[in-house]
Structure 1
Amino acid sequence: MKVCAIEIKSNKIIFVVLEKDSDNQITESTGKVKTIVLDDDHNHSQVIDCIETIHSHFNSLEIDKIVILSRSSKGQFSSSGISFKLEGFIQAYKNKPVEFVSPKTLSAFYKKNTLGIAAQFSYQSEASKLAYYILNS
């Protein structure tokens, strides 16, 4: 199984792709595109470019599952409006279903389990945890 895990922070999408083979070996195969940033969500051409970049990236990865780390939509620590636009761009991808996992679910999993891989870059740590969780739950 090959899973693309995504964390959305403000106007940035952070990708980690992990693959588990028949021998239960997990390898990282994110590729060149590790982040996509939408600088101006009111600029039509930037929005279209962002959507096309996201979807073509998914096509090139040949993934089985797309998973997004849920964010708060209410309260003091709610996420930015742009982040929910980015989430919509991802959900509009027609070729694979998109699932959500809450941070509480990840915390509960990692209280009993350890992360068996290291993120390539520190900013990918939450997406790495999410991908690893999906492959091992």
Structure 2
Amino acid sequence: MRVCGCEISAQEVRLAVVHLNDEGNVEMLRLKTTRIELEDDTSEADLRLFLAALHEFSRENEIDTFVIKTRAKKGRMAGGAVSFKIETLIQLVEGCDTRFVSPVALSHFAKREIETYPEKLLVYLKNAFLASAYALTTG
């Protein structure tokens, strides 16, 4: 099973894909595409292009499940409207399930379960990696 962790930031989604290797350990795949940007959220054509890019990404990388790090819906740290559009588009990818994980759950998971991060893990992919590893190991 391949799980893609997603962190939505501004007008882009950051992507990290993991699977269990032969030893049963979480292994992160090296990807050509690690982020997809939504150029103009008011353009139907751009929304369709973004969804098509997500479909292509899921096919290329054989994704079974997308896991999205949740964002607050209101308050000072609330996610923006564009980020919720991106979240919806991820949920519309055919053939893939979508799950959500809270930042608090990721923080606890990182402290208890992650001893070392993958070699050469880019800083901007840390939360996407944690989301995917969390979903893969907690079922």
User: Same fold, TM exceeding 0.5?
Assistant: yes
Structure-1 residue corresponding to 2:47 = 47
Secondary structure of the structure 2 residue equivalent to 1:110: helix
1:16 match: 16
Partners of 2:2 and 2:116 lie apart in 1 by 16
Deviation larger for 94-103 or 20-29:
20-29
What is the CA distance between 1:114 and its match in structure 2? Answer: 2.3
Out of 97-106 and 25-34, give the one that drifted further. Answer: 25-34
Query: Could you list the runs of 5+ residues in structure 2 that have no partner in the other structure?
Result: none
The question of whether the paired residues in 2 share the 8 Å contact of 1:38 and 1:50 is answered with yes
Does the 8 A contact of 2:16 with 2:28 survive in 1?
yes
User: Aligned partners of 2:115 and 2:44: how far apart in 1?
Assistant: 40
Higher relative contact order (Cα pairs below 8 Å, separated by 6+ residues): 2
The 8 Å contact of residues 2 and 64 in structure 1, kept in 2 or not, is answered as yes
Q: Which residue of 1 aligns with 2:104?
A: 104
Unaligned runs of 5+ in 1: none
In the TM superposition, structure 1's runs of 4+ consecutive aligned residues that sit over 3 Å from their partners are: none
Say if 2:72 and 2:78, in contact at 8 Å, map to a contact too: yes
Taking a change above 3 Å as real, the CA distance of residues 81 and 30 of structure 1, as seen in their structure-2 partners, is farther
1:85 pairs with 2:77: no
Partner in structure 1 of residue 71 of structure 2: 71
> For 1:4 and 1:133, how far apart are their aligned partners in 2?
11
Residue 17 of structure 2 aligns to a residue whose secondary structure is: strand
In the aligned structure 2, how far is the partner of 1:88 from the partner of 1:132? 22
Residues 134 and 115 (structure 1), Cα distance of their counterparts in 2 relative to 1, 3 Å cut: farther
Secondary structure in 2 matching 1:15: strand
Q: Give the SS at the match of 1:8.
A: strand
Q: 1:27 to 1:113 in 2, by over 3 A?
A: closer
In structure 2, the residue matched to 1:32 is 32
User: How many percent identity over aligned positions?
Assistant: 28
Displacement of 1:104 in angstroms is: 1.1
1:27 positional shift: 2.4
1:31: how far off?
1.6
RMSD across aligned C-alpha pairs, in angstroms?
1.6
Partner of 2:122: 121
Q: Distance in 1 between matches of 2:21 and 2:100?
A: 23
1:110, distance to aligned residue in structure 2 (A): 2.5
Distance 1:66 1:30 in 2: 17
